[in-house]
């Protein structure tokens, strides 16, 4: 008859294998959910995005409708994120990355509602279909901000363990970054999400995102 300690070790090992299998199956499901969800959302919101594009061109005809920006993705891989351009073309002419503020003068007045409703983020559905992002996950940071935050906040790079997301636990609970303390809170939520990743949490966060289409705290 096996020693009790041996039985415990075997049981713990089996539990670890089952946990890893469950995580692997969830990752497969998450990939399928991303592709199907992004494709359906793109079909639904395409007319809205077309109206937004016309408004952007009307307000600032000299610049493109879509805004591209390099972000840090899974395992530190860089990719270009897409957004509807809601700021003037020379919004960062000084070349310095900065967080958006209340009544930010860089924002085109006609397009301010797009930011408050988060409709300006919808082109990132293309990033999801390209496999660069997920529906749910930590928000991707700009490389220059990421380098600074990694130096200032321990474990910040752990957010790169999963694909960045269009929405997520930190986005729902923490809102916009305003200072280093809000980034610390965001990191705590991101790490909590990575630890608790499951079908139930994924669906709850997607449902909670609907309320963000009327986000009074958006900038």
Tens of pLDDT, residue by residue over 168-197, are 999 998 877 778 888 999 999 999 999 999
Q: How many CA atoms lie within 13 A of 70 on its CB side?
A: 8
Whether residue 69 is contained in a domain is answered as yes
| b/e 94-123 (16+ beta carbons within 10 angstroms → b) | eeeeeebeeeeeebbeebbebbbbbbbbbb
Q: Is 140 in contact with 164 (CB distance < 8 Å)?
A: yes
pLDDT > 90: percent of the chain? 60
pLDDT of residue 26 exceeding 80, the answer is yes
Question: What pLDDT is recorded for position 150?
Answer: 93
Q: Is 100 in contact with 176 (CB distance < 8 Å)?
A: yes
d(CA 107, CA 51): 18
pTM of the model: 0.81
Whether residue 13 is contained in a domain is answered as no
Q: What are phi and psi of 60, to 5 degrees?
A: -145, 75
Of 164, 218, 156, the closest CA to residue 188 belongs to 156
pLDDT tens sequence across 99-155:
555 567 788 888 899 988 999 999 999 999 999 999 999 999 999 999 999 999 989
Whether residue 20 is contained in a domain is answered as no
Domain count, the chain: 1
What residue numbers bound the domain in which 171 lies? 31-214
pLDDT of residue 164 exceeding 50, the answer is yes
CA distances from 19 to 22, 48, 106, 196 (A): 5, 42, 48, 12
Whether residue 14 is contained in a domain is answered as no
Question: What pLDDT is recorded for position 179?
Answer: 82
Whether residue 84 is contained in a domain is answered as yes
Question: What pLDDT is recorded for position 194?
Answer: 95
Question: What pLDDT is recorded for position 111?
Answer: 87
Whether residue 93 is contained in a domain is answered as yes
d(CA 130, CA 87): 25
């Amino acid at each position: 008859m096996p020693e009790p300690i041996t039985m415990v070790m075997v049981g713990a090992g089996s539990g670890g294998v089952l946990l890893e299998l469950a995580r692997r199956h969830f990752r497969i499901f998450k990939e399928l959910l991303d592709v199907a969800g992004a494709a359906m959302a793109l079909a639904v919101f395409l007319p809205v995005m077309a109206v937004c594009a016309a408004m952007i061109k009307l307000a600032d005809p000299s610049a493109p409708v879509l805004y591209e920006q390099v972000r840090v993705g899974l395992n530190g891989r860089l990719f270009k994120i897409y957004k509807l351009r809601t700021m003037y073309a020379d919004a960062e002419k000084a070349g310095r990355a900065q967080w958006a503020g209340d009544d930010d003068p860089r924002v085109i007045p006609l397009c301010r509602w797009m930011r408050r409703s988060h409709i300006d983020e919808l082109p990132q559905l293309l990033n999801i279909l390209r496999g660069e992002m997920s529906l749910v996950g930590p928000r991707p940071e700009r490389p220059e901000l990421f380098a600074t935050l990694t130096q200032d906040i321990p474990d910040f790079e752990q957010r790169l363990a999963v694909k960045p997301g269009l929405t997520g636990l930190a986005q729902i609970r923490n809102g916009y970054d305003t200072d280093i303390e809000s980034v610390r809170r965001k990191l705590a939520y991101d790490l909590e999400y990575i630890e608790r990743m499951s079908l139930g949490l994924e669906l709850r966060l997607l449902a909670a995102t609907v309320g963000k289409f009327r986000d009074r705290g958006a900038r």
